[in-house]
Structure 1
Amino acid sequence: MSTRSRKEDDLMRIHVPGVITSRSPLGQNLATAITAGLNIDIEEEALDWQIDHHEAKLSHDESNMIVSVADSVAPGLLPHRLVLTTDLPVGVGLGGSNAATLAGIMLADQLADLHLSETQIIETALGYEPFPAALHAALHGGMQTYDPRTERLERQAVQALQWVIYTPDQFVEASVPSHYTEQNVNAADYARFTKALAKADDNYLRNHLPLEPLRTQVTPEYFPQAEMVNRAVIQCGGYGCFVAGNGPALVCLAPIRSTRFVELLKHSLSAGQLLVTDVDTTGATIS
């Protein structure tokens, strides 16, 4: 996390990236920060909390998750006007609540002069969000893996690939199953996957993405659409796609050399939205 000291009456911006995770129990311990994220500009003091933004699903007052987290971390904070800007789609599985939690803790840290260490920020955030890898990825950037048996966290290298997020225009009631009926991968599979990303191993990614069949990742109602996107990704020169978090966003990967991949994919898909992103190697910042 990159920070600078805050002076009185000094305007400040908090940035927290979104995070991609795989939804399987193994994959929840594998998280990658992306360049899409949220920004909070701390403006002037106010009588009540006011959060200016253009997101229909988010509140503008103290019930906003960022403010509620901040107030629980440092009760009695002096209200401010905040300006929220984001290119992170809300509620699609890209770590929005993870980012909002960290932004709230960092907001409390700045306004109450708590001087929290990065370890304290993570420990506090685990009271709201359950996955250490996702929190560390958002705070530090890059790809983070977490071994729950040893509680060991490790940052993984990631070579340049094209990362494109697909979100449907209309969501099915449930895009992912409430639980998995079968496990098709193990820890060794994920180890090979992270090594393939580290080397941009074209042969491995071409033959093993997604690690788990889409049919087991999504509900029967969402599968036809998800499979259509996956086929389009492959036809346009990509490797394939997998569900991000609790969905319905699909993460589409392609090699750098497929220079027309995004253009071709846009023409191939008649519905849905595409967000071109990349791995965020910096993590959360205060500027």
Structure 2
Amino acid sequence: MKIRVPATSANLGPGFDSCGIALSQYLTIEIGEETKNWQIVHHLGSNIPSDEKNLLIQTALDLAPNLKPHRLTMTSDIPIARGLGSSSSVIVAGIELANRLGKLGMTTAQKVTYATKIEGHPDNVAPAICGDFVVASFNNNEVDFVKHPFPNCDVIAFIPNHELLTAESRAVLPKEMSYRDAVKASSIGNVMIAAVLNGNLPLAGKMMEKDILHENHRQHLVPHLKKIREFCKIYGGYGSFLSGAGPTVLVLTPSENTEKLVTALKIYDHEAAIDVLSVEKEGVQIV
């Protein structure tokens, strides 16, 4: 049995800590035979634990403490600390591991709620579980969420050759904002979501680039965002936004303009990874 969890991108500009999409990169956990102790075979680096200290096992045992140890094989093409939900994918995989091995019979809502309480916000874990485009709210220990099909487009991921830890990126955010700015931020986010639901990607992309909740505060940590936005306008993209806490930037574009944008981005930074992705319609799956 294999558990497959998609990468995710949170925020989509003004949908801070609320909106997210699932993407066509994956973490895969292959469940092998029972063993005396938990074993995780992977090639993700020496800093990723290969035993019960791994976040995957910690999450599973927190949910189902009596699980019997197994030999697991972990593979992932989701880059670590790049704003594409690498840690969220592990949390979601851990929940599904406990759900399957422990025969818990968890509903989607239960999985989203549990994952959100671990992560602290639902913007990555909800689309990782549900797939597609998800808008979610976490208030008073309660999670409400809505999944909706995302309009068809290519998603170009500009992934810099350096990490940006979420803690560092969150540390630059203000602790409060004025009422006037809060209303403005809300209106921008509302129109962005409505445009996505209406299939209007040109308007959605425009609103994604008007965020005032976090991107302007993080600008100095991701100086490439401004240049990528210039390329987006020149070569016919719908819009661009910082993926999660960064440093990855996503560009939404009609497929006929993808090649031109990819070429421009590769010339701009030959060390960055440029991946052409799609919105993954399914969330966590048993393969």
Range of TM-score over shorter length: 0.7 to 0.9
Structure 1: unaligned runs, 5 residues or longer: 1-11
Partner of 1:246, secondary structure, is coil
Pairing of 1:7-86 with structure 2 (within 5 A): 12-22=1-11, 26-56=15-45, 57-86=47-76
> 145, 148, 152: which is aligned to 1:160?
152
Question: Which residue in 2 is equivalent to 1:6?
Answer: none
CA distance in 1, matches of 2:32, 2:123: 31
Aligned AA (1:190): G
| Alpha-carbon distance change, 169 to 136 in structure 1, aligned in 2, over 3 angstroms | closer
Higher helix fraction (1 or 2) = 2
Residue correspondences, number? 275
The residue identity in structure 1 corresponding to 2:230 is R
* 2:121 alignment counterpart: 131
Question: Could you tell me how far apart the structure 2 residues matched to 1:207 and 1:193 are?
Answer: 8
The runs of at least 4 consecutive aligned structure 1 residues that moved more than 6 Å come to none
Residues 55-107 of structure 1, C-alpha deviation per residue, up to 9 Å, x if partnerless?
12422111110011111111132211111111111122212222111111111
- Partner of 1:276 in structure 2? 276
Instruction: With the length of structure 2 as denominator, give the TM-score of the two structures.
Output: 0.83
Partner of 1:225: 224
Q: Which runs of 5+ in 2 are unaligned?
A: none
Counterpart of 2:271, as a letter, is A
Q: What CA deviation, in whole Å up to 9, does each residue of 1:183-219 have, x standing for no partner? A: 5742332222123334553542564441226861414
1:92 is aligned to 2:82: yes
- Alignment of 1:111 onto 2:110: no
Contact kept, 8 Å, 1:26 with 1:186, in 2: the verdict is no
The 2-side partners of 1:100 and 1:86 are apart by: 10
Report 1:137-152 matches (<5 A): 137-147=127-137, 152=144
Q: CA RMSD in A?
A: 2.8
Q: Structure 1 stretch 180-189 or stretch 124-133: which is displaced more?
A: 180-189
Distance 1:161 1:193 in 2: 16
Residue identity opposite 2:156 in structure 1? V
SS of aligned partner of 2:257: coil
Q: Secondary structure at the match of 1:258?
A: helix
Partners of 2:207 and 2:133 lie apart in 1 by 19
The 3-state SS of whatever aligns with 2:245 is: coil
Q: Confirm whether residue 179 of structure 1 aligns to residue 173 of structure 2.
A: yes
How many angstroms apart in 1 are the aligned matches of 2:106 and 2:51? Answer: 25
Identity %: 25
Q: What secondary structure sits across from 1:132 in the alignment?
A: coil
Distance 1:158 1:81, change over 3 A: same
Shift of the 22–126 alpha-carbon distance from structure 1 to 2, 3 Å rule, reads closer
Partner-residue secondary structure (3-state), 1:170 = coil
TM-score by length of 1: 0.83
